[in-house]
Amino acid sequence: MKVYIDGQFYAERDAKISVFDHGLLYGDGIFEGIRAYNGRVFKLDEHIERLFCSAQALLLKIPLSRAAISRAVVETCRVNRVRDGYVRLVVTRGPGTLGLNPNRCKKASVIIIAGKIQLYPKSYYEHGLDIITVPTVRNLHSALNPAIKSLNYLNNILAKIEANNAGCEEAVMLNSEGFVAECTGDNLFILKGGRLITPPLYAGALYGITRATVMDLAREAGLPVEESNLTRYDLFNAEECFLTGTGAELVPVVKIDGRVIGSGRPGRITRRLVADYHALTQISGEPIYR
Ligand code: PXG
């Protein structure tokens, strides 16, 4: 594997950054997780746009234009002969002095890793996930806005640990008001009364690109889509539930906090959306090979 760092490709074992990089010292940086399907980078423009929005929120100057970063992502896929895979795009504050002041970091670093994706086991898609609500509350907007896809993921990692300790793969995270925000690395949807409902972004969710794609697919299929605050009660009484994310795509949920959701099996609408999403991934995206 060849890793892109600041304009050059390095062999895996030589792909290193400074121990003085504030990305490491303080989690001061941002990232995107992107998929390639069938020789194309899926939703590349959307990921680049979100990366620049995260950077803007952190006053982090990305040393490349949007077009140059897009080209670098595609080139990293090409160099690594990726057709179906996973791209991790990282921008760190760069090396600086000890002390958290970002002004002491001269230049941000851009890292691109393109490799294989570690997929959830197939059984999760066939039988659905059993998930729980965890005590760790999603970050407050006024503290660290969940819309920023930063290198500081401890809020999510703490929630993941709590889910793991309970024998679960994913965790529902509530916001400080008790409304559902999202899961540790996925957005959440329910189906109720023929409507697809997902928490609004102000509830404390990442502006998920899979979330937006699934909302478009649902509307195209004639399904009303709504962004409303949800409580755990709403989850327990949902007809169907699923999670969305670049890594997971759409994964059905069949149990939450011990309550069986709907029939206890992946729902009909969920399965339809899974199929529509999968079809879309095969035909759209930025071509890697021309
Ligand atoms: N919420 C959070 C907190 C996330 O980190 C999503 C929702 C889904 O967003 P997208 O845009 O992917 O639909 C994410 C995305 C990983 C990994 O390596 C994590 C994500 C994406 C890809 C890989 O754990 N998180």
- Nearest one of 263, 215, 223 to 239, comparing CA atoms: 263
Ligand 1 binding pocket includes 209 (Cβ within 6 Å) = yes
Q: Where are the domains of the chain?
A: 2-115, 122-281
Predicted TM-score of the model (pTM): 0.97
Q: How many helices (H) and strands (E) does the chain have?
A: 8, 16
Q: Specify which residues 10 forms β-bridges with.
A: 3
In single-letter form, the type of residue at position 28 comes to D
Contacts of 68 (CB under 8 A, 6+ apart): none
User: Is the per-residue pLDDT at 263 higher than 90?
Assistant: yes
- Distances in Å between the Cα of 252 and the Cα atoms of 26, 46, 186, 239 are 35, 24, 12, 12
* Residues whose CB falls within 8 Å of the CB of residue 192, separated by 6 or more in sequence, listed in order: 234, 237, 238, 239
For ligand 1, say whether the CB of 23 is within 6 Å of any of its atoms: no
Q: Does the CB atom of residue 204 touch ligand 1 within 6 A?
A: no
Q: What is the pLDDT of residues 197-249, one digit of tens each?
A: 999 999 999 999 999 999 999 999 999 999 999 999 999 999 999 999 999 99
Q: Is the CB of 208 under 6 A from ligand 1?
A: yes
pLDDT for 240-254, tens place per residue? 999 999 999 999 999
Q: Are 120 and 131 in contact (CB under 8 A)?
A: no
Given 3.30.70.260, 3.30.470.10, 3.30.70.141, 3.40.50.150, which CATH number is that of 2-115?
Answer: 3.30.470.10
Ligand 1 centre distance from Cα of residue 249 (Å): 10
Highest CATH level, class, for 122-281: alpha beta
Q: Which among 16, 43, 149, 192 is annotated as catalytic?
A: 149
117 pLDDT above the threshold of 90: no
What are 143-161's pLDDT values in tens digits? 999 999 999 999 999 999 9
